[in-house]
Structure 1
Amino acid sequence: MSRVRSLDVPPALTRWVTGIDVATAAGSPVVDVPDHATTLLLRMDRRELIVMGPRTRAAYHVGTPGRSCLRVRMRPGRAQALLGRPLRDLADRALPLRALPGLDVDRFAADPVAALVETVADRPEPAHRLDEAARLLTVVGVATTAARLHLSERRLHTLFTDGTGLSPKRFARIDRLRTVLAADTGRWSDIAATAGYYDQSHMTAEFRHFMGVPPAAFTAGHHPTPSPCTT
């Protein structure tokens, strides 16, 4: 596992990020679960800035002991605003950033919260339509989300692929999976119903697709063989 130290997110950043932490590898297996968010990552040893697109499959790996990464998990659409480009080609990719306008890498490493506050201070308020679309999508599905926002399904698809790097359907599938992963206890059938699956079989098939193993095996610690971390 990695040692993770979470940092407080001040009000000035809550419209931009959902979390900031520093993860230090301990040399033991780590699971990076699927995530529909884009993450800004700083390799502390190399002062290397990387943008991690949404992850559509679980990754099982072993990190180099002692290596630390600063991670900033962005809200939907915020990475697009921060990078100044659509995210449609970033799914399952890690791209080095030579620079991010307004962000000093050394200051980011020394005081990440203050550096981020300064970086976004002069940025325009991000549009909230994608926030509302993401909230609706996890409850009512693609067609109803588009109708409630007075968008065509094609326009909704573009909104998501540009703002998150994922189609609306895949975004919702990953969100349901993360609901299952966050469940502490309970019967699988109840967890499936709470997460919005048709039934337990549907949940199991989706879980295996994204995680590589069925839910019972995963919770019992029977994971795929980890590979060395290359990020």
Structure 2
Amino acid sequence: MSSLVVPPALLRWVAGIDVAAAAGSPAVDVPDHAITLLLRSDKRELMVMGPRTRAGYHVSAPGHSCVRVRMRPGRAQALLGRPLRDLADRALPLRELPGLDVDQFAADPVAALEGALADRPEPPERLEEAARLLARATVATTAARLHISERRLYTLFAEGTGLSPKHFARIDRVRTVLATDAGRWSDIAATAGYYDQSHMTAEFRHFMGVPPAAFTAGRRPAATPCTA
């Protein structure tokens, strides 16, 4: 997998752009609270992938490649023009995305997205601000800091991410653990915002299928053939 450089104008919308090629070896799709736009080279069909609430272990047939665009919180709702309540763990075809040429997107994802998003008004940043606060605060505290009710915060996340605030935060903490290169598990748990190491281990097992020590050592669930 190779990550493309996202220019400043696109960073308002996009968290990352990757081009991945299937190598026929086991791969892990980690849990992700983001909405992803995906284009497979063999199908030339644009897809929108909702939040992934559990890790997936799979093997893809070699030769295929795909472009994956990870959207910033709240941006996909504005881009697609619809709430995202029903998208968790689903992948749906996009008949069209106004302004985005699929062939150009396959050849030059950055240029294609720049052209498609250039004239779009930037959506409000409240959801992204809420996501930042949730990384270090409870749902109640986050709602209070934003001066909104907890019910309004739930609606904001459900429509803008397809997840509840609590579920969004749980996935974010697991991703923090996965992104940590080394260290004592107790320190990693504290850094990621868990109560203690046992809390982190239980949550990691829930989302990844195995405890963090086993995952790091390569003792992971068996990979299954990818049928997507």
Normalised by the length of structure 2, the TM-score is: 0.98
Query: Distance in 2 between the 1:112 and 1:188 partners?
Result: 38
Secondary structure of the 1:108 match is helix
Listed as ranges, the gaps of 5+ residues in structure 1 are: none
Selected match of 2:84 from 60, 79, 87: 87
Letter in 2 for 1:124: P
| 2:142 is equivalent to residue 151 of structure 1 | no
How many residue pairs were aligned? 228
User: 1:124-171, CA deviations, whole angstroms, 9 ceiling, x for partnerless residues?
Assistant: 111110111000011111001100111000000000011111100000
Letter in 2 for 1:123: R
User: Structure 1 vs Structure 2: percent identity of aligned residues?
Assistant: 81
Letter in 1 for 2:210: V
| 2:62 is equivalent to residue 65 of structure 1 | yes
User: 1:181-210, CA deviations, whole angstroms, 9 ceiling, x for partnerless residues?
Assistant: 111111111111111111111000000000
Query: Distance in 2 between the 1:218 and 1:112 partners?
Result: 32
Listed as ranges, the gaps of 5+ residues in structure 2 are: none
- Give the deviation of 1:65 after TM superposition: 0.4
The corresponding residue for 1:205 is 202
Moved over 3 A (4+): none
- Give the deviation of 1:229 after TM superposition: 1.1
RMSD: 0.7
Query: Distance in 2 between the 1:21 and 1:175 partners?
Result: 20
Secondary structure of the 1:189 match is helix
Normalised by the length of structure 1, the TM-score is: 0.97
| 2:170 is equivalent to residue 181 of structure 1 | no
- Give the deviation of 1:218 after TM superposition: 0.6
Selected match of 1:191 from 184, 188, 202: 188
